[in-house]
Amino acid sequence: MATAVIKVKDMVKKFGSFVANDHLNFEVYEGEIFGFLGANGAGKTTAMRILCGLSTPTSGDISVGGFDIYTQTEQIKRNIGYMSQKFSLYEDLTISENIRFYGGIYGLPVKLRKEKEQVLLKKFHLEDQKNQLIASLPLGWKQKLSFSIAMLHDPKIIFLDEPTGGVDPVTRRQFWDLIYEAAAAGKTIFVTTHYMDEAEYCNRVSIMAEGKIAALDTPDNLKEQFGAEDMNGVFLKIARKL
C-alpha cells in the first residue's frame, strides 16, 4: 500500500460567509503525479495555499509530508517545492545568480550550492550561458529551469501551479518529461493545468467544482464513470453539470 504524503480530512476554508473549500477529503501518495483541476474560482488556489503552509484553514485535519498544517508550517515550507507561471525566477539576475540565490534561501551549505549549480547548468547545457540574464531566456527554458530550482533543496513534494501555460507544444512535452523523471525518483507531484491532455499524464486527477471535490480517480476510471471520450469531456460534464 502506498504511503500518503498529503492527508486532507474535512478541510474547510471560509472567507466571511463564502465557503471556498467545503469539506475536502483526499490523500496524495508518495511518487504520485496528482492532477488538481477545476474551473476558475472553484477553490483550487485556496486549497493549494493551505497545503503550502501559506494560509490556515477554518477547520479540518491536514498534514503535508508528515507535518501538521496548523503548527508546523515552517517544516512544511522546508520540505516542499513550489513553482508557478506567475512567479518563478528573477528576470534581472543571471541564470547562475538565480540558482545561487534560491540555494541560499533554501539554506543549502555553500559547497552543496556550488555542486547543484554545476549539475543544473550541465543538465540543461547552459554552461556557456550561465552569466546571461534570465530575461533573455525563452519562456520554455525559464519554466524548465524554474522547476529544477524548485527542487534544489531536495523536497519530497513539489507543487506546480499551471507550469506550462503559454509554452510551445514541444517544450510543454519536454517539461512533462522532467515531471515524470522527478516522480520516478520518488518525488510527489501536485500539479494544476488548463490543458486537458496533460490531465491524462497524471496518475490520479481530482476535479473541483464550487468548493467541493466533484470527482477523484485515475483518468481512465473518470472517463468511464462520466461516459466521456477524453478528459476534456469529463471536465465539461463536471464543471458545466451536464
Partner 1 sequence: MIKVQHISKSYKEVQALKDLSFEVNKGELFGLIGPDGAGKTTLMRILITLLVPDEGSARMAGLDVVNDYKKIRQIVGYMPGRFSLYQDLTVEENLEFFATVFGTTIAENYDLIRDIYVQIEPFKNRLAGKLSGGMKQKLALSCALIHKPEILVLDEPTTGVDAVSRKEFWEMLKKLQKQEITILVSTPYMDEAGLCDRVALMQNGEILAVNSPSGIVAGYERRLVAVRSDNMFGLLHDLRSWDKTSTAYSFGEFIHFTSVSDGVEGAELERYLMEKEHKNLQVKEITPGIEDVFMDLMSGSSESSES
- List interacting residues with partner 1 (CB under 8 A): 38-41, 138-140, 162, 165-171, 173, 176, 180, 184, 194-197, 200-201, 219-220, 230-232, 235-236, 239-240
3-state secondary structure of 98: helix
183: three-class secondary structure by DSSP: helix
* CB of 61 or CB of 200, closer to partner 1: 200
Q: Classify 14 as helix, strand or coil.
A: strand
Question: Least distance (Å) from partner 1 to the CB of residue 102?
Answer: 23
For residue 62, the SS3 value is: strand
Helix count and strand count (H, E) for the chain: 9, 10
As to burial, measured by CB atoms within 10 angstroms (0-12 exposed, 13-18 middle, 19+ buried), residue 164 is buried
Cβ at position 60, least distance to partner 1 in Å: 25
Q: What angle do CA 183, 189, 195 make, to 5 degrees?
A: 110
Provide the minimum distance between the beta carbon of 149 and partner 1 in the complex, in angstroms, as a whole number: 19
Any idea what the Cα angle at residue 54 is, between residues 58 and 161, rounded to 5°?
Answer: 110
Taking the least distance from each CB to partner 1, the nearer of 106 and 175 is: 175
Residues listed for the chain: 242
Shortest distance (Å) from residue 139 CB to partner 1: 5
The nearer residue to partner 1, 106 or 190, going by C-beta atoms, is 190
Interatomic CA distance for residues 124 and 141, integer angstroms: 9
Nearer to partner 1, 76 or 160 (CB): 160
Residue (1 or 184) nearer to partner 1, CB: 184
Residue 138 C-beta: closest distance to partner 1, Å: 6
